Chains A and B, each alone.
Chain A
């Protein structure tokens, strides 16, 4: 890997006081050179980042490497990308990987069929050509216009093994060619590390990723919050105003975590459950009876175990 310039112009601060909405450049389009960027109003993403996570994000920005997030499903990996993009005031280009995705799908798509039809019918080519830029390609193109983006590559393990391998050079150099259109080249200016897109990759560990890809990434494992205080902060941030309901549901959840469950309820289950209890106006005293436990346990065996636990008490 070539030696990179360091970028210390941008930092993610987890304690920053952010407004409820911000005007941020619209993702998904790159306007032509002269035009001002289109903007859109974005709502704040409620997210509590740990100190380690903040360090990992800043390390990834500084070194210009992708940040690889691992963790249990529902631990908030994807939400982090939204929170980082909001905190930095940058557009978020999100690529949701599918099992059929190929490496170039992240950069651009080329409409060969349309070009064939147009050629047969002697029609002039459309103004944009037949190339449609995809999320990573848009971020690189935006950098060429002098603006920065956050790129989310979600659930990279869903794609084929070749998918990350095909992206090694592009992620390394942030440059790519479109072979179908000779001479069409996109590149983040190498001497401008402050324009590099911030790339966040999430991984559910369903498949092992190639080592060559992994070692280019900054690794962070998103842990389940350890203390009741952190959980309380997260619930409060998500609009659960009733402090006694928060305290009681956290106490119950921490007791449930002591049980031998096949799939321990994670953060997203907790938020769903408490959010619904809050909406229903459930009082703190009723929480111990585990109402609406379908939101917490997604497996039959776990529901039976939780019911046994309730009966034992």
Chain B
């Protein structure tokens, strides 16, 4: 009989994206059978952390979830110095010691054998059911961020952004070339070496910051951190901006629009010049400027650029000037043959009638979800995007 909190713990952890399976439960059972984790609630919690966590963040998640599932509290004054020998029948983790502190039997643990499938439930250890003890902390106050995509999903998606090329020192044996040379010359010569293949994909992330993006800051930071940790990219440059990366001087062009009530700016689109000077920052607080020239240097045909911005969709704003400024930035990127895609944290149904809808006519835009990032990486890998009016 497994206590209810174990079930709660497992399902809560699985909901948070920790892939705890049967094997992992088995490992917990083995460890309990070997006499580990019985000393107190804390030691059981640390046992779960040691077995199931694979990073510091996951350890925090497990500890926090553990605090919230209402596990019983107990304390065995003396942990057994010699672990109990492994019994033939593995005891169920059900037999948690009742409120220990019972005088006379310090450190003694009761291990009940696993009941057979048809066996009736054991009569509760022959005492009163354990009272819920006050632990001094309110489990509802243990809060943890939980994002729509897990770090693992981000890693899986962005690892697909690969451009393998042979680069660097020649260390790998080219067997075919070696044999061909030997066959052609008949001389024993050193083997032919070629450089190993490595990922040369470089990614530039342009992140909109402040204003309507404020609710998404933590989420975007989580994704950027995950890409940085797990993306295996040749280089990653992160630039921050607020609303637009610079003023394209488009005010004059707006006056020439034939129909001021038409949201699209196609009539003057060709006359928007690429953005030659812009304002980008290298920190999230927009205090340390990122030299625009340095940013432009990073734009090569191998560079993939992902812009993360709501483009006015959160507040439902439509600003022709912002469209032109954005187009100017996008033109800068496409002129240098970089591949560009746009990730919008606002949901797709909110794009209609806003700047985002117009921007999405010129650049592939996807929502900032697992599926959306998948599409974006497809575009950045070179899959030709379908947009209404390419720049």
Contacts and interface: CB of A to CB of B under 8 A. Distances in A.
Nearest to A62: B34
Interface in B325-350: none
Max chain B CB contacts within 10 Å: which of A11, A214, A219?
A219
Contacts of B47: 55, 59
B157 to A, nearest CB: 13
Nearest to A220: B50
A161 interface: yes
A199 interface: no
Interface string B49-67: 1111111101100000000
A59 B232 contact: no
B391 interface: no
Contacts of A63: 27, 30-31, 34
B53 A58 contact: no
B24 interface: yes
Interface string B149-161: 0001001000000
Contacts of B155: 208
Interface in B46-87: 46-47, 49-56, 58-59, 83, 85-86
B35 A219 contact: no
Max chain A CB contacts within 10 Å: which of B36, B152, B171?
B36
Interface string A144-165: 0000000000000000010000
Nearest to A219: B53
B56 A70 contact: yes
Contacts of B19: 211, 215
A62 B31 contact: yes
Contacts of A217: 54
A8 B55 contact: no
A111 interface: no
A65 B52 CA distance: 12
A299 B63 CA distance: 34
Interface in A1-49: 1, 3-4, 6, 8, 11
B50 A55 contact: yes
Interface in A44-70: 52, 55-56, 58-59, 62-63, 65, 68, 70
A292 interface: no
A122 interface: no
A70 B55 contact: yes
A4 B55 contact: no
Contact of A219 (B34, B36, B54, B85): B54
B33 interface: yes
Max chain A CB contacts within 10 Å: which of B19, B26, B30, B232?
B30
B229 interface: yes
Contacts of A52: 46
Given A3-B26, A207-B232, A221-B59, A59 B51 contact: yes
B51 A8 contact: no
User: Interface extent on A, as a size class?
Assistant: 20 to 34
A4 B30 contact: yes
A123 interface: no
A8 B56 contact: no
Contacts of B23: 1
A100 interface: yes
A218 interface: yes
B307 interface: no
Nearest to A70: B56
Contact of B36 (A58, A211, A214): A58
B36 A55 contact: yes
Interface of A: 1, 3-4, 6, 8, 11, 52, 55-56, 58-59, 62-63, 65, 68, 70, 100, 161, 205, 207-209, 211, 214-215, 217-221
CB-based closest 7 A-B pairs: A214-B54, A208-B230, A219-B53, A62-B34, A6-B34, A8-B83, A218-B50
Interface of B: 19, 23-24, 26-27, 30-31, 33-36, 43, 46-47, 49-56, 58-59, 83, 85-86, 152, 155, 171, 229-230, 232
Given A8-B86, A63-B34, 16 more contacts: A8-B85, A11-B83, A55-B50, A56-B50, A59-B36, A59-B50, A63-B31, A205-B55, A208-B229, A215-B52, A217-B54, A219-B51, A219-B53, A219-B54, A219-B59, A221-B59
21 contacts: A1-B23, A3-B30, A4-B30, A6-B30, A8-B35, A8-B83, A8-B86, A59-B31, A59-B51, A62-B36, A65-B27, A70-B55, A70-B56, A100-B171, A207-B232, A215-B54, A219-B49, A219-B52, A219-B54, A219-B55, A219-B59
